A and B are shown apart, each in its own frame.
Chain A
C-alpha cells in the first residue's frame, strides 16, 4: 500500500500562502493523490485531488512533482478558518475494485494573525 509522509505541524501567517508538503515515494502509476482537511470535532472535508498534472480549484492548488513521488498543497491566502489538520492520501486498490483512502495523522496547520 502506498503510504504518505507529512510534517506533524506547520505555522502560517494570516494572508500568506500556506505550502503543505507530502511525500508518497511508493505511489503507483494509477493512484491519485487526495487532500482532505479536518477542523476540530468535524468530519473531514475534501479539498482537491490529482493524478499527474497540477490542479487548482476555488480552495487550493495541488502541485505534483514530475516523478509523482511528492506533492504540495497550496492555500494561496490563508485565513484563520484554514486552521485544521490536513491529510494527504493516496488511493489504494483492493483487488481492482474501489480502493479505500488510508488516513494518516496529517499536518496540523495553525494560521496565526
Chain B
C-alpha cells in the first residue's frame, strides 16, 4: 500500500539531546512537510521541501533542522536549541510543486515527542 510512515510513534528526549523523527513516503511525491501541533491548537509549519536537496523554513523553524537527500525521506531533527519541544509532530507529502495549485496533502500518523 502506498502511504506515508512516521516513526517512532512516541519519543522521549532528555535535556540537551538532539532527536531525529523519521518520515518516509512511497507515493512518489515531490513535496514534503513537517508540522508541529500543540494541544488544542492547529498545525504550524516547521520546514518544507519541494524537491530533493532543497528545503525551506516554515513559520517556526528555529531549533529544528531537516535534510532531503532522497525523494522518499524527510527526517526532522529536534535540536537542543528547541527549548519547548514537547508536541505532536506531523509529516505530510504532496504530489508536486510546480504543476498546479490543486494539490492535497497526505499525512502520516504523527510522532508524540515528550521531554524527560
Residues of A within 8 A of B (CB): 30-32, 34, 36, 41-46, 49, 51, 87, 91, 93, 97-106
With a cutoff of 8 Å between Cβ atoms, the chain A residues found around residue B101 in the complex are 30-32, 91, 93, 99
Cβ A105 vs Cβ B40 within 8 A: yes
Q: Chain B: which residue is nearest A30 at the CB level?
A: B101
26 pairs of residues in contact across A and B, judged by CB atoms under 8 Å: A30-B101, A41-B112, A42-B110, A43-B90, A43-B108, A43-B109, A43-B110, A44-B90, A44-B92, A44-B105, A44-B107, A49-B102, A91-B101, A93-B101, A97-B50, A98-B31, A98-B50, A98-B94, A98-B98, A98-B103, A100-B45, A101-B105, A102-B45, A103-B43, A104-B42, A105-B41
When C-beta atoms are compared, the residue in chain B nearest to A108 turns out to be: B40
CB of B70 within 8 Å of the partner chain: no
Residues of B contacting A98 with CB < 8 Å?
31, 50, 94, 96-98, 103
Residues of A close to B50: CB separation below 8 A: 97-98
Query: Interface size class for chain B?
Result: 20 to 34
Tell me if B14 is interfacial: C-beta within 8 Å of chain A. no
Inter-chain CA distance A51–B92, complex, in Å, is 22
Q: How far is the CB of A107 from chain B (nearest CB, A)?
A: 11
Specify the chain A residue showing the minimal Cβ separation from B31.
A98
Identify which of B41, B104, B109, B110 contacts A46 (C-beta below 8 A): B104
Q: Give the top 10 A-B pairs by smallest Cβ distance, nearest first.
A: A43-B107, A103-B43, A98-B97, A103-B42, A46-B104, A104-B42, A105-B42, A44-B107, A43-B108, A43-B109
Given A98-B98, A100-B48, A49–B42 Cβ distance below 8 Å?
Answer: no
Within the assembled complex, what's the spacing in Å between the Cα atoms of A2 and B34?
Answer: 21
Question: With a CB–CB cut-off of 8 A, which chain B residues contact A91?
Answer: 101
